[in-house]
Amino acid sequence: MLLFFALVLAADAHAAQNIRIEVPEVIYTAKNILTLGQVAKISGGNVQTRRILSALEVYPDGERLPRDEVLRAINDSDAADARIELYMPTYSRIEAPGYEGNFTETPEPSSQKSRSPGELIPLIRSLAAWHGGLEISASAPVPDGRLIDPASIVPGTGAVTLRFQDKDGKIKSLPVRLNWTQNAMIASHNIRKGDRIEARDMFSRPVKITRPGMYASSPDEIAGYTANRNIKQGEPILLNALTSSNIIKRGRQVKIIARFGSATATVDGVLMEDGRPGEWVKVRRLDDRKVVLRARIINENMVAVEVE
C-alpha cells in the first residue's frame, strides 16, 4: 500500500480554501522541468489558486520526483492562504511516455492484430492524473512506437492528437476523441435557493464532464451546505451553486469517524477550531486529550479522519 502524505497549510478558517493535490505513483513524461499541473490532479479551491499551483515548477531527481520537492514548491508559492492536502508517495517514478509505460519499439508483424485506441485508456488516465471514467475513440488503429506527445492532458479535453515515434524515428499522428465521466451528486427533487442540503436531497450517477472540479462527488462533500440558486430535480449539483454559511464553533463535541477501506471506527471528540462543513480542522479525542487529529467537518455533529 502506498503511503500518502497530507500537507495542511494553516490559514484563517473563515477564508481558507480546501485544495486536494494528487500525484500518481508513475509519471509519464520526457521533460526535465515540470509544472505541478502537468503531473498532478488539482481540485477544490478557486480558479486563481489552482492556476498558481498548476504553474509551480518542480524538478525531478533523475528518474523520480521526490515528495519533498513538491512540498518545497508549494511552501514557496503564493498559495499560503489555502489548506492543501497532498496525496503522493515518497517518490513518484518518471518514465518516458509509452503504451502503459512500455510501448514496444519493435513493429508487429503484419499478421498481428492492430492495437485498438481503447488500449490507450490506462496511459491517458495516467497522463491526466484522472481517476474517473474515460472512453477513447479514433478513426484509425494505434501506430507502432512510443508516445512522445503530449506530456500531459487536462481532464475534460474533448479531442487531442497523439504523436508516436517508431524505432526508425518516423513520427505518426493519431487524432482521438475523449469522453470523461465521474460520479456526481444529482438532485433527487427540486432544491430552492436558500435550502440546506442533506443526504436525502441527492443520489449518485456518472455524468460527462468538460472540466474537473465542477460537481460534488459524494454526500459528505456538500451535506450541510446551502443552495445559492434553484437546482432542478435530476440536475448534477455544481459546487459553485452551494455556499457553506454555518460556522461550527470551537469546543463543540462531535463524533470522530475514522475510515480504513470498508472498516469504520468512531470516538467522541471536541473541535479545537471553528469551521464550516467541508473544511479541515483540529479535533481532540475526549478519551485521550493528548491525541489531536486533523479531520474534515461533515456536519455539526460529525467529523471524519481518512486513514490511508
- Structural domains of the chain sorted by starting position, each given as residue range(s) with its CATH number in brackets: 17-95 (2.60.480.10), 97-245 (3.90.1210.10), 253-306 (2.30.30.760)
Count of alpha carbons within 13 Å of 236, Cβ hemisphere only?
18
Torsion-angle region of 74 (φ positive above 0: left; ψ -120 to 50: alpha; else: beta): alpha
Question: Element (H or E) spanning 76, and its range?
Answer: none
Cα–Cα distance, 181 to 155 (Å, whole number):
10
Q: How far is CA 245 from CA 153, 195, 237, in A?
A: 35, 11, 17
Q: Are 159 and 175 in contact (CB under 8 A)?
A: yes
Provide mean pLDDT across the span 212-217.
80
pLDDT at 210 over 50: yes
Burial class of residue 216 (count of CB atoms within 10 Å of its CB; 0-12, 13-18, 19+): buried
C-alpha 85/C-alpha 71 separation (Å) is 11
- pLDDT the model gives residue 191: 94
* Residues 13 and 272 sit within 8 Å (Cβ to Cβ): no
| Placement of cell 467529523 in the chain | 303
DSSP 116: P
User: Taking the chain, what is the end-to-end CA distance rounded to the nearest angstrom?
Assistant: 8
d(CA 157, CA 179): 8
Residue 305 has pLDDT above 60, yes or no: yes
Q: Measure the CA–CA gap between 72 and 74, rounded to whole angstroms.
A: 5
Confidence of residue 14 (pLDDT cuts 50, 70, 90): very low
Q: How many residues does the chain have?
A: 308
Q: Which of 94, 84, 82 is nearest to 58 (CA)?
A: 94
256: which residues sit within 8 A by CB, 6+ positions away?
A: 266, 267, 268, 269, 283, 285, 293, 295, 303, 304, 305
188 phi/psi in degrees, rounded to 5? -85, -10
Which secondary structure element, helix H or strand E, spans residue 69, and what is its range? helix 67-75
* String of DSSP letters for 125-175: HHHHT--SEEEEE-SSPBPSSEEEE-S---TT--EEEEEEE-TTS-EEEEE
**pLDDT tens by residue, 127-136:** 888 888 899 9
Q: Is 77 left (phi over 0), alpha (psi -120 to 50) or beta?
A: beta
Q: Which residue has the higher pLDDT, 235 or 96?
A: 235
**113, pLDDT greater than 70:** no
> Average pLDDT for residues 139-156, to the nearest whole number?
87
What's the alpha-carbon Rg for the chain, to the nearest Å?
22
Residues 179-200 have pLDDT tens digits of 999 999 999 999 998 888 898 9
Q: Record the cell numbers describing residue 141, joined without a space.
A: 488503429
